[in-house]
Structure 1
C-alpha cells in the first residue's frame, strides 16, 4: 500500500475501560466506557459520521458563503440481539443557515447536491459503513 493512502491510529490503555487514541500527527483523544467525561466508542463512530460529512459540506458551501450557523447531528438506534450489537436507523441531520443575499443564495442552492455527494461519494466514514467493509482482527502473541 502506498504511503499516501495508509492511515492508522494507535490505542493505549490508561486504565480499565479508558483509552487514548493517537493519530499519525501525534494528536490524542481520550475515551472509553469507564471515562465519565469522555465519549464512548459508539459516540465516536457517530461523531465520525457527522464530522466527515460536515467537513465536505462546510468546505464546498463555504466557497460560496460562510455559514451563519452550522450543526450536524447523528441519531441511531442501539440494537442488541442474537446477531450481536450494532446501530440501526442511522440518520444524519445537517442544519445550516447562510446569510441573505447572493453569496448565501449560492451556498443554499448547492447545499442539497453537496450533502448528497458527501453521502454518495466523498465521506469515507459513511461510505465504509454503507459498503459493509470487513474489519480484520490480528492478535499479537508474545
Structure 2
C-alpha cells in the first residue's frame, strides 16, 4: 500500500492519491473554509468504513442481506493535549433489514473484536465502544 501527497495551495490543502489513483483532499480544520478532511477526521472515517465492510461481508456470508447500514463515529480528544490524540471513540451502527438480532450483534462484535484492522490499530491508543440499532430497535 502506497500513498502520495502533493501540496495544492500556499496553506494546508493537500491532494493524496493511492496506487489506484483514488484522490482524497486533506486540509487543516482551522482554515476558514477547509476544502478537505483533516487527518484525524480520516481516522474516524476509516474505522466507519472498515467496520461497515466487515459487517456487510459477515452478514452476506450468512445469507442475510442488509437493506441499509449507517454508521456514526464520534471521537473524543483531550483538550489542550499535545499531541491531541483520540482518547475515546464511539461507533453507532444503525442496521436495517431482515436480519436476526443475534446475527446483527455478532457481525458487529466480530468486526470490532477481530476483523477491523483500523479499530484494532486505534484501540492501542483509544478506548473504543460501540452500540447497535437494528430496524430502529436498540440492541446494545
Give the TM-score normalised by structure 2: 0.75
Match of 2:122 in 1: 129
Matched, 1:8 2:6: no
Q: Select the residue among 41, 57, 60 that pairs with 1:59.
A: 57
The number of equivalent residue pairs is: 120
Note the C-alpha offset of 1:37.
Answer: 3.8
Give the TM-score normalised by structure 1: 0.74
Separation in 1, partners of 2:81, 2:65: 47
Whichever of the two has the greater Rg, that structure is: 1
Q: Which one has a larger percent helix, Structure 1 or Structure 2? A: 1
Matched, 1:120 2:119: no
Matched, 1:36 2:29: no
Match of 1:87 in 2: 86
- SS of the residue 1:114 aligns to: helix
Root-mean-square deviation (CA, aligned residues, Å) is 1.8
Q: Conserved in 2, the CA contact under 8 Å of 1:80 and 1:86?
A: no
Q: Deviations over 1:118-139 (max 9, x none)?
A: 111111111111235xxxxxxx
Note the C-alpha offset of 1:82.
Answer: 4.5
- 120-129 vs 55-64, which moves further: 55-64
Q: What are the ranges of 5 or more consecutive residues in structure 1 without an aligned counterpart? A: 1-6, 133-142
Runs of 4+ in 1 over 6 A off after TM superposition: none
